[in-house]
Amino acid sequence: MNSEALIGIVNNAALLLALGLLYDSFSYKVSNKTIFDRVITGSIIGIIGVALIFNSWELAPGIVFDTRSILLSITSLFFGFIPVLVAALISAIYRLSIGGPGVLTGISVIASSTIIGLLWRMHRQDLRKTLGKFELYVFGIIVHISMFLLMFTLPFETALEVLRVITIPVILVYPIGTVLLGTLLNQRTARNEAQQALRESEARIKHIYNNVPVGIFRTDSSGKVLSVNPEMAHIVGCDSPEEAKEHYTDLGKQLYVNSERREEFVKMLKKEGSVQNFEYEAQRKDGKRLWLLMNAKISAEAENGFVIDGFTMDITERKMADFRIRESEEKFRAIFEQAATGICQADLDGKIIQFNDRFCKITGYPAEELMNVNFRDITHPDDLPKELELVEEVVAGKCKNYSIEKRYLHKSGSSVWVSVNVSIVSSSEGRPLYFLAVAEDIAERKEAEEQMLRARLAAEEANRYKNELLANANHELRTPLSSIIGFSDIILSDMSDNLNQSQKKYLSHVNQSGKLLLKVISKMLDISRIESGGMDLHFEKFQPGPMVEEVIQGIESMASIKNITLNVDMDTDIQEMTADKGKVQAILYNLLENSLKFTPSKGEVTLKIREKGEFLQVSVTDNGIGIQDKDIDRIFDPFVQVDGSSTRKQGGTGLGLMLVKEYASLHNGEVSVKSEYGRGSTFTFTIPIAPNIGYDSETVRMPEEVN
Ligand code: ADP
């Protein structure tokens, strides 16, 4: 073995590793991301190559050996195409400049090392993580076998001589040199990656620190702010962390509304080392109050105490909501306790779990006895089945609440009438929780209702007696009256020659009074029949014209006695109608009789008959005394005679209009009146032309339209 060659090669390899270490120390800032970076890297490596060639071992003039093959093959493998191209070019140019018989061989070795390195790189995926020492060694052997082969670019004799001298040193040193340089670069790459990861993680943490919506702080135990993140600065009303740091030098006095609370916090920290969910009221730099929640722990000892790290959240909204809930709970409690109605809360089995004073008073039980009593036990047994049905409906979700009038069993044993409104209160998920009952004592109202019922029954009873009395009176009065009227008629007509003037006068008084009395009796009887529902209509077909004629004939004499003009204005195509003719005539007769009665002599009464859809409309207009507005509503009531003196003068019973109204309504018709006091009145009635027709405001026009 040629020891000179070995020493020369080892020296060169040592230089390579030394330069490699130097490169590693100074090149950490070159990222190799841009083409420019790669060209720089290639240039530095090229210069190292030049240094290696410059310090090469010379076998013969112009034939030199150095470790450029290691440098360039490893450069190819680790840095890729551009850096190795630049490095190889620089090295090749320098080798060319040295010249000598080994120029071609030297440049070929540069090319082959570069190409093998690039090919290796191309076929290896994720090179850096898996490239082990063994692979680097094999790689080194292959690169240098190719170098041996390239020795034959020298004259054959020279090549053999060269191989004889360098084979062993090369095989011993070069693959190991390859492994060492490769390992150096591998470690460098791993270190770079770790640094990169660290930088990224730092940046991430910084980003979180600056953007997290939670205040992060570091203070010392005396209350001085050491650092805060932007959110913390924002919470305390500062524009920047720097401003907060500058402003807050004594948190207990500056931030805490109650500085004792800060002392409490520090005491807890000292004792426990950390504090969780500490709430306190704070004031911002601008004085605005807010509520904060804090988690903190002691993270380091400091000169005069310790350093505190923690985070803070603004919980003002939640706190306000809590206050509002508490306030409304207190309000509810006050209403519950002081309500004028009884309120009670019962569980789903009906057990009373809460109640107010008023409820105790209604039921008569003291509070301690009422607790846990089931509502069934204080409900009257007669009212219980109905209420249980309602409870079932509410529990089944068919309705949200129910109202019932029922009786509670008072502690004294009596029953208390109450009106209860019960609703079911459910959780936010709709699960029934309990019943809420509001009970109002209605004993007085119930008593009043019962009294009214008793009074109504008594009135009905009295009415029945009255009707019976009237029916009896009618019978008992009619018989003697018929005799009085009949016999006085006979005496006046058959025996008038035997009577003197006074006898005739008295007898005719007897006759007229009898007739009037008969009229009154039959009207009263009719009214009593109507009231008891015993009045029937006797329908028949008739022609309106002749029916009206008959009434006119009956009343004409009265008109002529009073010298009143009686006009008839009949304009209808109705040839036939079906109604109770007698009652229709009675209506007409009553209205005409009243008009004649309440119209002074020489006045005028007009009867107007019209057809309105399926109704016959009849109106009687006079220019008599008229009726005052205040009286107009009551003239249809029984026994009402508006003006005592004038009606007395005119006579009458006060029953006529009531009968008119009842007869019309029995026919599904209507009566109305319009009057002007001192000027006259118009009474109008409508009757359907067939019995099955009802009053319909669309088909019948109102009396004023007729007028
Ligand atoms: P009476 O038998 O008294 O006429 P009515 O019931 O027929 O009883 O009438 C009640 C009252 O209505 C009359 O007493 C009178 O005061 C008033 N009244 C009825 N018709 C007229 C009318 N055409 N003009 C003025 N007043 C009238």
pLDDT in tens, 304-314: 789 999 999 99
- pLDDT over threshold 80, residue 18: yes
Mean pLDDT of the chain: 88
- pLDDT over threshold 80, residue 33: no
In Å, how far are 17, 95, 109, 412 from 83, measured between CA atoms? 18, 18, 17, 110
- pLDDT over threshold 50, residue 21: yes
- Looking from the CA of residue 620, the nearest atom of ligand 1 is 23
- Looking from the CA of residue 636, the nearest atom of ligand 1 is 6
- pLDDT on residue 700: 34
Question: If we measure between CA atoms, which residue out of 195, 187, 185 comes closest to residue 23?
Answer: 185
CA distance 584 to 661: 11
Q: How confident is the model at residue 643 (pLDDT cuts 50, 70, 90)?
A: low
What is the rounded average pLDDT of the residues 107-116?
Answer: 95
CA of 545 to the centre of ligand 1 (A): 26
pLDDT in tens, 526-574: 877 777 777 788 999 999 999 999 999 989 989 999 999 999 999 888 8
- Looking from the CA of residue 683, the nearest atom of ligand 1 is 23
Give the tokens for residue 343: 């309120």
Higher pLDDT: 251 or 21? It is 251
Could you say which DSSP state residue 691 is in?
A: T
Residue of 526, 588, 657 best suited for mutating to test ligand 1, as the one with most atoms within 8 Å of CB: 657
Residue of 521, 564, 594 best suited for mutating to test ligand 1, as the one with most atoms within 8 Å of CB: 594
Give the three-class secondary structure for 607.
Answer: strand
CA of 641 to the centre of ligand 1 (A): 6
- pLDDT over threshold 80, residue 702: no
CA of 544 to the centre of ligand 1 (A): 25
- Looking from the CA of residue 622, the nearest atom of ligand 1 is 23
Higher pLDDT: 684 or 22? It is 684
What is the rounded average pLDDT of the residues 160-172?
Answer: 90
CA of 637 to the centre of ligand 1 (A): 11
Determine phi and psi for 601, rounding to 5 degrees: -60, 150
Report which protein residue has its CA nearest ligand 1's atom 3.
654
pLDDT in tens, 487-523: 998 888 888 788 888 888 888 889 888 888 888 888 8
CA of 553 to the centre of ligand 1 (A): 22
Report which protein residue has its CA nearest ligand 1's atom 23.
595
CA distance 176 to 134: 10
Look at the alpha carbons of 264, 269, 271, 275 in this order and tell me if their dihedral is positive or negative. Answer: positive
308-320 b/e (C-beta count within 10 Å ≥ 16 → b): bbbbbbbbbeebe
Report which protein residue has its CA nearest ligand 1's atom 19.
594
Report which protein residue has its CA nearest ligand 1's atom 21.
594
Q: Is 278 exposed, middle or buried (0-12, 13-18, 19+ CB in 10 A)?
A: middle
pLDDT in tens, 219-258: 999 999 999 999 999 999 999 999 999 999 999 999 999 9
Determine phi and psi for 347, rounding to 5 degrees: -75, 180
Q: Which residues line ligand 1 (CB under 6 A)?
A: 590, 594-595, 598, 622, 624-627, 635, 640-643, 647, 652-658, 681
- pLDDT on residue 382: 95
Is residue 292 within 8 A of residue 314, CB to CB? The reply is: yes
CA distance 13 to 6: 10
- In this structure, the number of other CB atoms found within 10 A of the CB of residue 133 comes to 14
CA of 571 to the centre of ligand 1 (A): 27
- pLDDT over threshold 80, residue 668: yes
DSSP 472-499: HHHHHHHHHHHHHHHHHHHHHHHSGGGS
CA of 683 to the centre of ligand 1 (A): 11
Give the tokens for residue 610: 């019209």
Sequence-separated contacts (24+) of 375-380 with Cβ below 8 Å: 375/344, 375/346, 375/350, 375/351, 375/437, 376/350, 377/409, 378/408, 378/409, 379/406, 379/407, 379/408, 379/409, 380/406, 380/407, 380/408, 380/409, 380/415
Report which protein residue has its CA nearest ligand 1's atom 11.
641
